[in-house]
Amino acid sequence: MDRTDADRTDVDRADVDRADADRTDADRAVVDRAVVVGGGHMGSVIAGRLSDELRGAEVTVVEPSADRAAALREAEPRLRVEESYRPVPGAAVVVLALPPAALDSFASGLPADAFHDATVVSIMAGVRLETLVARLGTAHVLRAMPNLAAEVGQSMTMLCPGPGADDDDLARAEKALSAIGEVLVPPDESFLDAGTALVGSGPALVAFVMKGFTDYARRAGFDAAGSLRLTCQVLRGTADLLEADGTSPEELYGRASTPGGTTERGITCLGEHRVQEAVRDALEKTAARSRELAG
């Protein structure tokens, strides 16, 4: 017979607490099933990587467009593709990868108790946790901001649990999102606007700056493939070096700028063009737009 919390004695409750404390992160992070709602760019990438990384888990994509659903079935035969959302049993993670403007119509068509015990992770830009909890009818909600590098398993994803999400929800969400790269949990939701600028828009902003490198390489006579390869390896090498050394960017360029040498000349030129100020300004404007969209 099922008992309520009120029926339990203090000894029972202590047993439950102890059993809960004995569970490891791996116990909490069990994911039997994943459902990705929205089979567009991000949704199909996430579903594909979940299928690769969550061994044995069943991965379903919900895609209402019949044409896109058929294309997904053909491109990714290992995924289940359905045209409407159905609740699934077990330790499930539901990733909402639909456009923010489609949330209301999706939520209004949901069956009662649509998410059972599922952990819901929204990647919709600018949709606040408060809105998600109110629309979805479950408190087991987290908000995440991944980026396009998910496609190569190199997303930097920010993940923020809602007030009703428990340790199991966080562990399951972290496990699911680590299929697309690294996961960082910020102190609270307010960090997600800056996170949207740094992480969500980050690859596009960095690519914009990288075009300066590829343009220069092309003008210097390298072919397109060579220009891209040089630029990417310099970017990757710099990132790895900074992380391995735990050095700050200014220490690295300071160390490389021998007085009177070649690098110093280039760094002086970037300073004169106020490149760092321009990048900070771009990030501030991107974050401000994220706040505007969230209303």
Ligand X SMILES: NC(=O)c1ccc[n+]([C@@H]2O[C@H](COP(=O)([O-])OP(=O)(O)OC[C@H]3O[C@@H](n4cnc5c(N)ncnc54)[C@H](OP(=O)(O)O)[C@@H]3O)[C@@H](O)[C@H]2O)c1
What does the binding site for ligand X look like in residue numbers (CB under 6 A)?
37-43, 62-65, 68, 97-100, 102, 105-106, 123-125, 145-148, 200
Question: In terms of CB distance, is 65 or 248 closer to ligand X?
Answer: 65
Question: In terms of CB distance, is 145 or 217 closer to ligand X?
Answer: 145
Question: In terms of CB distance, is 34 or 217 closer to ligand X?
Answer: 34
Min CB(115)–ligand X separation in Å: 14
Min CB(113)–ligand X separation in Å: 18
Question: In terms of CB distance, is 275 or 282 closer to ligand X?
Answer: 282
Min CB(120)–ligand X separation in Å: 14
Min CB(194)–ligand X separation in Å: 14
Question: In terms of CB distance, is 68 or 172 closer to ligand X?
Answer: 68
Min CB(152)–ligand X separation in Å: 13
Strand (E) or helix (H) holding 21? helix 10-22
DSSP 54-71: STT-EEEEE---HHHHHH
Min CB(146)–ligand X separation in Å: 5
Question: In terms of CB distance, is 105 or 233 closer to ligand X?
Answer: 105
CA angle 150, 155, 160 (to 5 degrees): 115
Shortest-Cβ-distance residue relative to ligand X: 40
Residue of 216, 255, 210 whose CA lies nearest to 236: 210
Paired residues of 156 in beta bridges? 182
Task: Please state, in angstroms and rounded to a whole number, the distance separating the CA atoms of residues 28 and 172.
Answer: 7
Question: In terms of CB distance, is 103 or 170 closer to ligand X?
Answer: 103
Collapsing DSSP to helix, strand or coil, 5 comes out as helix
Inter-CA distances, 142 with 68, 103, 118, 128, 259, Å: 27, 15, 11, 10, 50
Cβ density class 223-255: b for 16+ within 10 Å, e for less: eeeebbebbeeeeeeeeeeeeeeeeeeeeebee
Min CB(260)–ligand X separation in Å: 43
Task: Please state, in angstroms and rounded to a whole number, the distance separating the CA atoms of residues 4 and 27.
Answer: 24
- DSSP E strands, 56-123: 58-62, 80-82, 92-96, 119-122
Min CB(186)–ligand X separation in Å: 15
Phi-psi region of 147 (alpha: psi -120 to 50; beta: other; left: phi over 0): beta
Question: In terms of CB distance, is 39 or 48 closer to ligand X?
Answer: 39
